[in-house]
Amino acid sequence: MRFPVMKMPDLPFSSHPAVGVAVGASAVAGGHRLAADGLWHSFGAAGVLRDVSLSLAPGEILCLVGPSGCGKSTLLRLLAGLERVQRGSIAVDGEVIADARRHVLPEKRGIGMVFQDFALFPHLSLLDNVAFGLASLPAAQRRARALEMLARVGLGERAQDAPHALSGGQQQRVALARALAPQPRLMLLDEPFSNLDVRLRHHLRAETRQLLKEGGVASVMVTHDPDEAMFMADRIALMRAGRILQAGSPAELYHHPATPFAAEFFGEVNRYRGKVSGGQVATPLGGIAAPGLAEGAHAEVLLRPEAIHPVAAGTPGAIAAKVVEAHMLGACSLLTLELPDADGGLVRWQAQMPSAACPTGIEQMQLGLYPDGVFVFPLELAA
């Protein structure tokens, strides 16, 4: 059956200077396990992806993150072969497996996939579930490989059980074992931990990362959870409105966000607007350097709560703040602070600091700022 190639309309994507950001080296360069180049996709008149390129080295884990509807799941489906490429191309190990004319079937791509709903066969044992994708092997090898993978995920003694006899976390382990059993060239994971409770999710994602790294499997994972992406990924691609806005290591995206959206996506921020004067923006916690912004330009300053820290009385540059609320969260405490602003009014900001630095009943603190948690952007990027 032939599928029609849809013509891409001019789509109403919001403008942004980071259109077409490529993840990793050029997608046409060699040496990549996965290379996607210039992918566009729409469903009818609704644009979903616009000029998305990415590349992935063997053994590397890339996480796609972004708000709902940004295109990350559609991108994963294109890589898997569950959607046909309308414009652009996808190559694995240098071989083009999908473009506007070519569509290699999902089962022939050498790609494993783990879904958020596990997708196990309820009428098959765990052993038969894992062996399902090994049809090309002789029966004895198929059984041995399936038992090996079940043992690696800690379920070797449950090989004859049915999926319904397992907990959600155990079912997800079986799904991972099944996807890894054929030794795929590439692994795709679609929010694989979203149906699990928080404690189990944290434990299972550590196990999953270890398995992927031990097997040297290049992996692309979709998640809506920025903390999960920072834990799992070697690199992160932040998506919005069908584009990759910024890509890099977890540390790069957290400490060097390219836009206010990127800064806020990966952590809470306090916002303050002002004008550049003498190369700085005056804020309730002192002047903040504004490199690259013209004198008199309107700017927005974003400060992470953990960038605000207590200092000793008399420390040069220290600012006094009233403690309005303090909530202990275990090792850290979350404080609501009241500070005078440049116009003579008051602002309330949040700070996060070690609980040991927040004695019970404290009413006022002397504060300073860690510069690597403070970001200044032109006001036009704030939307």
pTM: 0.85
- DSSP letter for each residue of 271-328: EEEEEEETTEEEETTEEEE-TTPPTT-EEEEEE-GGGEEE--TT-TT-EEEEEEEEEE
**Domains contained in the chain, number:** 2
Q: Are residues 292 and 221 in the same domain?
A: no
Looking at the fold, whether 324 and 355 belong to one and the same domain comes out as yes
| Domain end residue (candidates: 213, 231, 261) | 261
Co-location of 290 and 221 in the same domain: no
159 pLDDT band (50/70/90 cuts)?
very high
Per-residue confidence band for 30, with pLDDT thresholds at 50, 70 and 90: low
Q: Are residues 243 and 273 in the same domain?
A: no
Say what percent of the chain tops pLDDT 70.
Answer: 91
Contacts of residue 232, Cβ cutoff 8 Å, sequence gap at least 6: 61, 63, 205, 208, 209, 221, 223
Task: Please tell me whether residues 275 and 343 are part of one structural domain.
Answer: yes
CA dihedral 198, 203, 207, 210 (to 10 degrees): 100
Q: Is 49 domain-assigned?
A: yes
Q: What's the mean pLDDT in 73-91?
A: 96
Q: Are residues 86 and 206 in the same domain?
A: yes
Q: 8: pLDDT confidence band, cut at 50, 70 and 90? A: very low
Reading the block at residue 342, the tokens are 């440049």
CA 175 – CA 197 distance, rounded (Å): 17
Domain that holds residue 217: 22-110+184-261
What phi, psi does 303 have (nearest 5°)? -125, 125
Same domain as 310, residue 374: yes
Instruction: Look at residue 23 in the predicted model and tell me its pLDDT.
Output: 66
**What's the CATH code of the domain at 39?**
3.40.50.300
pLDDT per residue as tens digits for the range 186-239: 999 999 888 888 888 888 899 999 999 988 999 999 999 999 999 999 999 999
Neighbour count for residue 174 (Cβ, 10 Å): 23
How far, in Å, CA of 22 to CA of 38, rounded? 9
